[in-house]
Amino acid sequence: MNWGKVAAAAITLAAIAAGGGMWYAQEYGYYDRIDTEGPDARIDITTDAGVTALALTGFEGIDADSSPLRWRACAVVTDMPTDVVPFDDPTPLIAPGWFDCFDAQQIGADLESGAARGVLSQAEIRPDVDRVLAVYPDGRVFGWHQYNDKTPERGVMD
């Protein structure tokens, strides 16, 4: 028996198993669906008057404890306030493939073309992280968490 081939096969199988485990963890392992009837199934929005809750239908959301950036949501707003605070440079983050309602590439393209607008849902939802929404004229909203800009103008310093 050639022990070199056995060792190479063992290393290859271990690498395949580790890669498969990492893929599963990133795609499925840490995410939980947000209960559509629970207190987390709401989206707030920042207006000139302050933060207010949106009236939603068709809410779908996911979150994970492993990272402040894993929150994603899709919904339809029945009554969007007109005095919402815009968000500079909204950049939707990729969602797991099984979360079908959130297509980051399409949302990003729509934000760039003006088909959707980026607004601030809630500043500092977690330290250094803002909740951002892409709002469409037909009432659809897509949300994600995004690191915020730490500049002296915002009053945040390292």
Q: How many residues does the chain have?
A: 158
Tell me what the mean pLDDT of segment 22-46 comes to.
77
Query: Pairing state of beta strands 140-147 and 72-77?
Result: antiparallel
Give the pLDDT mean for 1-12: 86
State which amino acid sits at residue 18.
Answer: A
In the prediction, which pLDDT does 101 show? 92
**Whole-prediction pTM:** 0.78
Q: Across residues 126-147, what is the average pLDDT?
A: 93
Least confident of 25-39, 56-70, 137-151: 25-39
Binned at pLDDT 50, 70 and 90, residue 21 comes out as: confident
∠ CA(25), CA(41), CA(116), 5° rounding? 85
Band of pLDDT at residue 117, cut at 50, 70 and 90? very high
Domain positions in the chain are 1-30, 33-154
